[in-house]
Structure 1
Amino acid sequence: PKMDAGGFRLGTNLCIALPGLRWLLWLWLVAGCFGAFYFPGMVPVSYCEKRSQTGFCRSLIDVYVHSLYSVESAVTYEYESFDFCQDDLKKTPPETLGQILFGKQITSSPYKFSFKKEETCRKVCVKSYTAQNKDQMNKLAFLKNRIMQNYYHSWVIDNMPMIWCHDMEDGEEYCTLGFPIGCFNIPGDKLKGPCLSELKNYTLYPFNHVDITITYHRESDTNWNFARLVSSTIEPKSYKHSDENDLTCSGPPMEIPEEDTNTLNVIYTYSVKFEESQNAKWTSRWDYILETISDNNSFFLVLALCGLVVIIILKSICQRSTKYNHVSYMHARRQQHFRWRMVQRNIFRPPENGMLLSVFLGQGAQVFIMTFLSLFLAVIAFLTPADLSALMTCAVVLWALLGILGGYVSAKMYKIYCFLLMLFTVPSPYPRFLRIVFTDLLTMNLILWLEESSVAVSFGTLIRTIVLWFGISVPLTFLGIIFGKKVNMKEMPRQNFKRSFFTKPAVNIILGSLLPFACIFIQFSCILSNIWSPYIYYPSNFLFLLFTILLIFCSEVTVMLDHFHLYAEDGDWWWKSFLSSSFTSAYIFIYAIYYFTKLQVTSIETTILYFGYIIIAVLISLLFTGNFFPFCGISLHFFDCFFCFTEAF
């Protein structure tokens, strides 16, 4: 809509109304072009047999281990915390900030193979536990407790996780990014896998043997000496070895007695074999690992909802345009001129708590750009699935550097409706939000520290993170505030309008935010499952596409609801536009509570950690503008309405 001297003129241009579609198509094409190019920060490694080893290939295959995790607990432990076989020549790659924050410590293991050299029942080490040794009994008790809590190993070969596939009772095969350290057989448990029905109930079985299958692909038809690894699978087993000098890897499984005995020997062994694949290639090896669900259903659901909103907006505008064409021209001109002039008086009326709103908008813009760039780098494979902690590192660095954007947006919006900018006034609400997040993180870190978890952030890392925020993000925020320009507004009297049921703020906020949550519901459920369970899920391409579509959809919903408010002569739109999409975080929190009831969580520590992370996610979702882990927020949709109304008035 445009207001000129002659009155109100209505126009509908689909290209102007939906400019985001052009950007969506452009980004889609760019992502498709980059899809054929893979630069994850590492080069492929060529392997060959030991007798053919040269400077261009290697024969030794190292196995690295991550921290151990559980589907029943949020506490992770380092590999060294368990009394497993350790590498004499321990090698620990340099850790990034994302690995430290994620607790993804990685170290070398004693499992080392030679390319194409198959081994059968090879001994790794022997662990002995005697009742007279208190330290050994404590290690055994720790192992027994972690087996009962269903902890998993996480091994890596050639920057690629080892996969464990097992059958479920429904006949389906499920693959996970790790394998359990043992089995505690419970009657009626759905998992068949290594816990077979013929095992004793309520008995602990440690997995002291693994069968490893490594699949490779020849580099070229002309050079058959070089090969590259494309996949690796592992199958844990339990064997009661009677003689460590005569290992057969057969017979009954090994039991851990409930009562302490004189001596308990646990012999760890492995078998490895190599298989050649003619179809799988190194460049596409992640395609054989990654698993996604029915993304097409979610995609078409989002498109259908977007189309529905567009139809509602266009139909509403066209009906009103037709109605005013049927009345006298002069009467319609005077009526429309009067009604929109009344709305124009209040369209830029300073809202209540304007300072808080400006801070939310600034931080929301900061989070949006950070999320967009992180997802885009993941789509073009710059952030590889082999190291998910790189995503955290990228997000933290981008958040610090984008402080200038948050400060600029906050200052710009604050000065538009508050007439005057004071340098230290705009950032004053920032500590309110950060105080909540920082207190939450410190509480969870204290719990993790008491549990001796590998996820616990050390004091040095905490200091470095604070320095990163105060040394980079805060100065850039003030720099962005300085770049803001002063805009003077006139004082206008506020009008009180009678609202219908569907134009009441509570109704608009609850119903308006329900539609965006319907778009992200399926993906949000999958991401929660991915965070809490070892199942494979890395849909970066689809998440980026859904991020863009959901951005357009939330913008359409916000503009549509504010259009209805303006048509009802209600110019108090600031907070309504903000909350119409941000209330999606309430639905996210409600679903997170429902998801928690489906988990097998019994400890208080895990409950506190779960809801601690969820609270941070919900707070971020208040500021978030788009779809990530996938959350929907508001500040960009607010700017859609703001720019739309600026053009109109």
Structure 2
Amino acid sequence: MAATLLQSALGILLLLAPAASAFYIPGYSVTSYQRDEPMPLMVNKVYSDNTQLQYAYFDLPFVCPPTGAHRAGGAGGLLSGESVPLNLGEVLRGDRIMASDLQLAMLHDTPCATLCTRDITLEELIRAQEMIEEGYVAEWIVDNLPGATSFVTVDKTKKYYAAGFKLGYDVEVNSAATPARRVQYFLNNHHTIVIRYRRAPGRAGDRGEKVVVGFEVYPKSVGYDASRNEHGCPADLKNVKSGLELTPNKTASAHDDDPVMSIPYTYSVYFREDETIEWAHRWDLYFVNQDEGSHIHWLAIVNSLIICALLTGVVMIILAKTIRSDIKTYKDAVAEDGKIRLKKTRPASTGLLDQPHGGDDDDMDLSDEEALEDITGWKLLHADVFRTPAWGGLLAPLVGSGVQLFVMAMGLITLSTFGVLNPSFRGGFISVGVGLFIFAGLFSGYFSARVFKSFEGRGHRRNALVTALLVPGIAFCAVFVLNLFVWAQASSTAMPFSTLLAIMALWLCVQVPLVYAGSHHGYHKAPTWEHPTKTTGVPRPIPRQSWLMHPVVSGLLYGLIPFAVIFIELLYVFQSLWQDKSGYYYVFGFLAVVCVLLTVTIAEVTVVSVYARLCAEDHRWWWHSFVVGGGSSIWVFAYCVWYYLFKLHITGFVSGMLFFAYSGLACCVYGLLTGTVGFLSAYAFVRRIYGAIKAD
């Protein structure tokens, strides 16, 4: 997943240029309409909470097909059924926005109008039944607002929106004559559209222009028995006796290609003034649980603060007491002449071959290097702690990619917190995220090269190539394979082949050169991270370690603490990703605070775990710090499994596979990012404590 920069900054501008038309800051870029001015209604896609497969609205075989007629107004003169230019984020999230044949004009009510009569075959009828059973909802768009189903709270004091409206509904029929389960499927073939408006701000309002502050859709199923006027519209929409059941006509032909049912589609349009909603706050109604959720978000922050404060106390004890005490003991042993006066204990007697050495306890003058050999604990590892780790050529690229992801994540959260990325910037979060990821290739190459250089690595070009290709390549291949399954389902969730080629071009032609540029600067021009102690030729034997020191066990145990910091906020993130397919996550302020606390917690947990490992006289802390830092990703994936089993109702092999594949990929990305935070924190900690010994 990547995008932006054809030549550094120019590529970003090219990538985000299509998205600029969808961007607005509340209070600006207001679209106002004069009386009777045409308002384009766009159709997008259908989606469901029970599946991960989305479909373009006009791809449905049972809806009115576009006529190709010219649509005036803000649609830019598009023909009905013609696609609106989309940015990269919109394409990746499965949007397929097209102009429709529904005609709207500001302040012009339409009690009823006929859209079309669609004849469907038996196969198309069965497809409609399946989509109704799976709970698919449709998304229409007016003035960049998605059509919503309106609800009120139980006490009827508050109104809120749920994006989209249902294609239909099913009813289970229980009959004594037929004990077998029977389900009736009813299709919503009439849509009542309510546009809520208010006076436009500024001079536009003085001219009598209006702005849209709400878009509601009320679907209804109208059966054949409803009386209709000469235009085919129901005569009395308020008193519809029965809905339009999806069942073949009794006189229908048995041939598969022959129509078995005719579906009349109609719609109504009403404009209602609403001065209670400010244009800048018209999206607030879509955030259904922002009031009740704020209490839970505060609880999440308090929970994170408590855990972070406890860890900070533990780290302060280690740094301020234990380590300082160790260093003070070391300093007290230093003689005035710069030598260390220690008592060398005679080895235990081994029998007749044991010879006396001039007394029970002989005082010996030792140099600093020799004296350190007789000091217990982490100071014993002074000659091995900075020994190049196994697979260091892999660790450096992973750290570089982790820094790249960290820069991207911080950029996205910052922009979202300040409202630059908001729901009206459709697809903006993904587009900007891809752009930041590409641009952060500079940081990836830089940090990868510096870590690689600290390992005394040779061949920095090869390291830069691995950094540029490894993580993005694995992600691209995984997404490509998953995309094949989605393509087979003819879903709009599948990325077009041209989009895949564009992403590959951005990756290979933009990111790879940026990684090389950052790597060159980090390896040749940036100062080397000097290690305070020198490494000897022969590594010190490592004592047998407890099973708790195993990397997997340590990752699980220490990873549970960062997971406890974020698990409350994860519930809202998952709900936005998997249940609310509109993706309107809004509490980025809370998320930013939780992410800061998470970063601090991971750094502190890693420092504690590395200190414990060094005290056990094990110098293999490099990979240990990376695994411990990313250990919470295992718990996040376990949380994904729990969420799938108990919160979601996803059906179908492809949908389940997509859930676990993308969840696993996301957890790997999260683990890579947090593992990098842990590694860099541990690296700074180890250099600090051994630098203090050297200074003394």
| TM value normalised by structure 2 | 0.76
Shift of 1:218: 2.1
Equivalent residue number for residue 20 of structure 2? none
Equivalent residue number for residue 585 of structure 2? 537
**Is 2:313 the counterpart of 1:265?**
no
Separation (CA, whole Å) in 2 of partners of 1:325 and 1:103: 59
Go from structure 1 to structure 2 and tell me whether the alpha carbon gap of 1:518 and 1:560 turns closer, same or farther (over 3 Å shift): same
Separation (CA, whole Å) in 2 of partners of 1:107 and 1:211: 20
Go from structure 1 to structure 2 and tell me whether the alpha carbon gap of 1:419 and 1:113 turns closer, same or farther (over 3 Å shift): closer
The alignment's C-alpha RMSD in Å is 3.3
**Is 2:655 the counterpart of 1:606?**
yes
Go from structure 1 to structure 2 and tell me whether the alpha carbon gap of 1:166 and 1:179 turns closer, same or farther (over 3 Å shift): same
Equivalent residue number for residue 634 of structure 1? 675
Separation (CA, whole Å) in 1 of partners of 2:333 and 2:637: 50
More moved, 217-226 vs 246-255? 217-226
Counterpart residue type for residue 80 of structure 1: F
**Is 2:210 the counterpart of 1:208?**
no
Separation (CA, whole Å) in 1 of partners of 2:151 and 2:182: 20
Give SS of 1:108's match.
Answer: strand
Equivalent residue number for residue 142 of structure 2? 157
Shift of 1:187: 7.8
Counterpart residue type for residue 264 of structure 1: M
**Is 2:164 the counterpart of 1:116?**
no
Question: Is the Cα contact below 8 Å between 1:161 and 1:386 reproduced in 2?
Answer: no
Shift of 1:607: 1.8
Give SS of 1:185's match.
Answer: strand
Shift of 1:357: 0.9
Separation (CA, whole Å) in 2 of partners of 1:504 and 1:414: 25
1:52-63 correspondence runs (5 A): 59-63=37-41
Go from structure 1 to structure 2 and tell me whether the alpha carbon gap of 1:270 and 1:159 turns closer, same or farther (over 3 Å shift): same
Shift of 1:45: 0.8
Go from structure 1 to structure 2 and tell me whether the alpha carbon gap of 1:341 and 1:109 turns closer, same or farther (over 3 Å shift): same
Deviations 1:549-569 (A, max 9, x none): 221222222222223333444
Question: Is the Cα contact below 8 Å between 2:465 and 2:512 reproduced in 1?
Answer: no
Shift of 1:605: 1.6
Q: Extract unaligned runs of 5+ from structure 1.
A: 1-36, 51-58, 130-135, 189-199, 625-632
Equivalent residue number for residue 629 of structure 1? none
Question: Is the Cα contact below 8 Å between 2:26 and 2:280 reproduced in 1?
Answer: no
Counterpart residue type for residue 178 of structure 1: G
Equivalent residue number for residue 10 of structure 1? none
**Is 2:637 the counterpart of 1:586?**
no
Go from structure 1 to structure 2 and tell me whether the alpha carbon gap of 1:606 and 1:289 turns closer, same or farther (over 3 Å shift): closer
Equivalent residue number for residue 117 of structure 2? 126
**Is 2:163 the counterpart of 1:177?**
yes
Question: Is the Cα contact below 8 Å between 1:212 and 1:271 reproduced in 2?
Answer: yes
Separation (CA, whole Å) in 2 of partners of 1:218 and 1:141: 46
Deviations 1:195-228 (A, max 9, x none): xxxxx96111111122333222323598372322
**Is 2:495 the counterpart of 1:510?**
no
Shift of 1:328: 11
Go from structure 1 to structure 2 and tell me whether the alpha carbon gap of 1:504 and 1:187 turns closer, same or farther (over 3 Å shift): farther
Pairing partner for 2:228 from 235, 243, 267: 243
Deviations 1:540-586 (A, max 9, x none): 33222322222122222222222333344443211111111212121
Shift of 1:102: 1.8
Question: Is the Cα contact below 8 Å between 1:414 and 1:426 reproduced in 2?
Answer: no
Separation (CA, whole Å) in 1 of partners of 2:30 and 2:426: 18
Give SS of 1:449's match.
Answer: helix
Give SS of 2:96's match.
Answer: coil
**Is 2:594 the counterpart of 1:546?**
yes
Equivalent residue number for residue 145 of structure 1? 130
Equivalent residue number for residue 405 of structure 1? 443
Shift of 1:41: 12
Separation (CA, whole Å) in 2 of partners of 1:436 and 1:645: 32
Aligned residues: 580
Shift of 1:613: 1.3
Give SS of 2:99's match.
Answer: strand
Separation (CA, whole Å) in 1 of partners of 2:24 and 2:593: 19
Pairing partner for 1:565 from 595, 608, 613: 613
Give SS of 1:239's match.
Answer: coil
Deviations 1:161-186 (A, max 9, x none): 22213589999987421111011224
Equivalent residue number for residue 215 of structure 2? 232
Separation (CA, whole Å) in 2 of partners of 1:524 and 1:444: 24
Question: Is the Cα contact below 8 Å between 2:139 and 2:164 reproduced in 1?
Answer: yes
| TM value normalised by structure 1 | 0.81
Shift of 1:40: 7.5
**Is 2:298 the counterpart of 1:296?**
yes
Question: Is the Cα contact below 8 Å between 1:181 and 1:206 reproduced in 2?
Answer: yes
**Is 2:499 the counterpart of 1:461?**
yes
Equivalent residue number for residue 55 of structure 2? 77
Pairing partner for 1:39 from 25, 49, 55: 25
Go from structure 1 to structure 2 and tell me whether the alpha carbon gap of 1:589 and 1:186 turns closer, same or farther (over 3 Å shift): farther
Separation (CA, whole Å) in 2 of partners of 1:68 and 1:242: 30
Separation (CA, whole Å) in 2 of partners of 1:326 and 1:379: 46
Separation (CA, whole Å) in 1 of partners of 2:96 and 2:185: 27
More moved, 593-602 vs 61-70? 593-602
Question: Is the Cα contact below 8 Å between 1:623 and 1:634 reproduced in 2?
Answer: yes
Go from structure 1 to structure 2 and tell me whether the alpha carbon gap of 1:271 and 1:501 turns closer, same or farther (over 3 Å shift): same
Equivalent residue number for residue 253 of structure 1? 242
1:417-456 correspondence runs (5 A): 417-425=455-463, 427-428=465-466, 431=469, 433-456=471-494
Counterpart residue type for residue 254 of structure 1: G
Equivalent residue number for residue 32 of structure 1? none
Equivalent residue number for residue 6 of structure 2? none
More moved, 328-337 vs 148-157? 328-337
Deviations 1:327-373 (A, max 9, x none): 89835997997455423322211111111111110100011101111
Separation (CA, whole Å) in 2 of partners of 1:74 and 1:614: 12
Shift of 1:526: 2.1
Counterpart residue type for residue 168 of structure 2: G
**Is 2:430 the counterpart of 1:385?**
no
Separation (CA, whole Å) in 2 of partners of 1:284 and 1:173: 14
Give SS of 1:202's match.
Answer: strand
Separation (CA, whole Å) in 1 of partners of 2:549 and 2:126: 62
Shift of 1:471: 0.5
Counterpart residue type for residue 589 of structure 1: F
Separation (CA, whole Å) in 1 of partners of 2:553 and 2:155: 43
Counterpart residue type for residue 358 of structure 1: A
Shift of 1:81: 0.8
Task: Please tell me whether Structure 1 or Structure 2 has the larger radius of gyration of its CA atoms.
Answer: 2
Equivalent residue number for residue 524 of structure 1? 570
Equivalent residue number for residue 630 of structure 1? none
Shift of 1:113: 1.9
Separation (CA, whole Å) in 2 of partners of 1:285 and 1:394: 23
**Is 2:89 the counterpart of 1:98?**
yes
Equivalent residue number for residue 416 of structure 1? 454
Equivalent residue number for residue 15 of structure 1? none
Equivalent residue number for residue 596 of structure 1? 644
**Is 2:261 the counterpart of 1:275?**
no
Give SS of 1:236's match.
Answer: strand
Separation (CA, whole Å) in 1 of partners of 2:560 and 2:132: 41
Deviations 1:35-82 (A, max 9, x none): xx96389711112323xxxxxxxx322222211111111111111112
Go from structure 1 to structure 2 and tell me whether the alpha carbon gap of 1:167 and 1:127 turns closer, same or farther (over 3 Å shift): farther
Equivalent residue number for residue 3 of structure 1? none
Pairing partner for 1:286 from 283, 287, 305: 283
